[in-house]
Structure formats: structure tokens, C-alpha cells
Amino acid sequence: MKLIFFSSKSYDKDSFESIKSEFDHELTFLESALTKKTAVLAKGHDAVCTFVNDHLDRETLEELANVGIKAVLLRCAGFNQVDLPAAKELGIHVARVPAYSPQAVAEHAVAMILTLNRKTHKAYNRVREGNFSLERLTGFNLYGKVVGVIGLGKIGVAFAAIMNGFGCRVIAYDPVTNAAPEYIKLTSIDEVLTSSDIISIHCPLTDETRHLINKDNLQKMKPGAMLINTSRGAVICTKDVIHSLKIGHLGYLGIDVYEQEEKLFFRDLSESVIDDDMILRLMSFPNVLVTAHQAFFTTEALHEIAATTLQNAADIGEGAANANCLV
């Protein structure tokens, strides 16, 4: 198949090119994001390969269908950005990479916890400036703390296993799961919110989870609790989280995703004026850590994304059954 990649970076090209000899595909890479205006660039190809912030609404899918695209290959697990009913109506297959490396995302969530807690990012900058003081670097033991997990898929379970290894008591909420490893207590969302010292979000973005972390649920959390989000930005209502930080109720926030990230993440804006007051406000808090959607970003994950995506394309091209196909 002839595949055209949108929103591609150097690391995408490197990972896909390194294994393309194992498949019979022709690859073209574009830095442009996919929108209804850029869809015309896919003309002459069989499939488009897209990432988390590419637009795949009905209008874009119609434009893709008009230029002969038969498949959308998502090089990510989430698919909330795709109008699946429209894709089905237009006869466009949609396939994703459901589990490229649960450990990569889980480990990044733990890294954010450790950084916020032990303030290693601040200590690093201090020492480089010759400041060896320990003032205002006090953290807390993870051992014995209650860690709440929202979403107990593969990433949530991988995260819970790590925190169990630290000696934490792990509780979790997942509306579709009724089984979990013995060290995880399945419970209600309210108990996760009210009992946890640390909450880590690992659920997909759906109508039910959009702004799940809002004013009401933030008020249920323990004063001084830590909130980590490596799932999807819109699971958190940003303005409500900012308010909770301002009044001193939420103790720490670590986010690798942001509900307005498509205008910011995966770009170098170091010489630009950032026109987003909420992200600027978040970055002004000393107890907030923001990373730019890098939780998945390991060598192993990139290889798995490339291999699964190209296999998805091969299966679609051959009409073979594929569990990763959403449409």
C-alpha cells in the first residue's frame, strides 16, 4: 500500500523506515497536520497514517474519501479524534495501535510522581548554579501511601504494579473491569477520590470521562493530594484544576497531556509568544509539572507502533481479519 504520514517527526520516519523492508509499503512523510484543508495532499495514496492531534471529523474524512483514501491508520491507542460512524459510512477502514508499550506510559507517570515529590528538577537547577541548600526540597515517603488508579487497562495495571513495588496501597476504579491483581482493591470513584494520596489517570477519553476531574470531584480529594494525568487532556477540566491549585487544595499536579495541546505540543515554540493563558498559568505554579505528551516516547514503544501500524496496513490491504480495526 501507498501510505502518507501526517504530523510526522524525525523519530517517526526513523522508526518506520527501519522496518519498512519487512512490508510491501511505500511511505511518504509530511510534517503537516491532517485537516480538511490538507486532506488533498493524500491524493494518490491508499491510506493516511495519523497521530493524536490530527483532525478526522466527518468533513476531513469526506475529503479523504474524495481523493481515494481507503484506510486511516492511527499510530496511537486513542481514537476519540475520529468520527467512526462517518468513516464506516464512507467505507474507510480505521485501525489503531491499542497497546504499544503500557510500561512506557506507566513509568513516565511514576517519574512525574517522583519528580514532583522529591523536587529533583529543582535540585538539578540549584546545583548547577552552585546552590547546595536543601531548603524547600522536602518530599514524602511513597511507602504506605494510598495510590488511586482511574482506568485499569494495561497501562493502569502496569502503573499499579510499580506503585505496589514501592509499598503503596493501590485502589482503583474502572467501570468495565471486575477483575484485578490481588494487590489492587477495586472500588468506587468516590473512594478513589476521597482516600488517595496520589491519583493517576489511565482511562480513555469518552463522553463519560470528559472533565471527569472537575470542581466537584476535586473538592472530594484529600487536601494536598497529587494528581497525575498521562491519558487524555480533556479528562481534566483545566480551569477547575487551576482554581484548586490557587486555593491550595490540590497539592501537586503532573500532566503529560492537556486539553488544548494540539496548538502547542510536538512543536518548538521557544521563540514564540504562547497564546494560551491556561497553560501559562499552570506552568507558573511551583507544584505543577508539565511534559509535552512524551509518556509513550521510548525506543521500544516507537518500534511497536511502527510494526503494528504497518501490519494493520498489510491486513487491510489483503482483506485479512485484524483485531485492531475499529471500522
Sheet architecture: strand order including 71-74: 26-29, 2-5, 47-50, 71-74, 93-95
- Catalytic one of 63, 232, 259, 304: 232
Identity of residue 170: V
How far apart are the C-alpha atoms of 76 and 74, rounded to whole Å?
Answer: 5
Sheet architecture: strand order including 198-201: 184-186, 169-173, 146-150, 198-201, 226-229, 252-255, 288-290
**Residue 136 appears among annotated catalytic residues:** no
- Catalytic one of 75, 96, 259, 261: 261
Secondary structure (DSSP) of 178-189? ----TTEEE--H
Contact 50, 74 (CB under 8 A): yes
- List, in order, residues 6 or more apart from 166 with CB less than 8 Å away: 142, 143
Give the CA radius of gyration of the chain. Answer: 21
**Residue 232 appears among annotated catalytic residues:** yes
How far apart are the C-alpha atoms of 82 and 202, rounded to whole Å?
Answer: 20
- Catalytic residues, by residue number, are 232, 261
